[in-house]
Amino acid sequence: MKWHLPDFSWGNKRYRRAVQDADRMLILPELLGDEHLDIETDENTKREPVRSPKDTQIYLRMDGKGFRVPAAPVSGSGGVPVGVQNARRCRVRVECPRPWPKPWGLRR
């Protein structure tokens, strides 16, 4: 199975590629049988952006490709397009944890 995940600029002008990357899709390498991925687009994370719990070294199969811009919170009814090829059953789970435990912004 091969995933197509959005790596949109979300209007971010940091790398001066807001227009060029407005509809950029990252095509991940084909996954091995029963392989799952954890993807972290937060630029402040201390872990690798794409990792497999099976320790299959997915980053070596990505040919130097990676996410450029962190995923932005999406508002409204518009969704985020995700594609997959050669899959019988698959699912995507998106988690957006709050970086603070209280509504008034105290640190953990």
> Using one digit for the tens of pLDDT, what is the confidence trace for 5-28?
888 877 777 778 788 878 888 888
Q: What is the pLDDT of residues 33-46, one digit of tens each?
A: 888 888 887 777 77
Q: If pLDDT is split at 50, 70 and 90, which confidence band does 108 have? A: low
In the predicted structure, residue 104 carries a pLDDT above the cut 70: no
pLDDT surpasses 60 at 75: no
Please tell me which residue, 61 or 103, carries the higher pLDDT value: 61
**Which candidate, 30, 52, 29, places its Cα nearest to that of 39?**
52
Q: Is the pLDDT of residue 72 over 80?
A: no
What is the 3 state secondary structure string of the chain? CEEEEECCCCCCCCCCCCCCCCCCEEECCCCCCCCCCEECCCCCCCCCCEECCCCCCHHHHCCCCCCCCCCCCCCCCCCCCCEEECCCCCCCCCCCCCCCCCCCCCCC
Q: pTM for this one?
A: 0.70
The backbone torsions φ and ψ at residue 58, rounded to the nearest 5 degrees and listed phi first, read: -60, -30
Residue 57 has pLDDT above 80, yes or no: yes
Its sign, for the CA torsion 45, 23, 15, 67, is positive
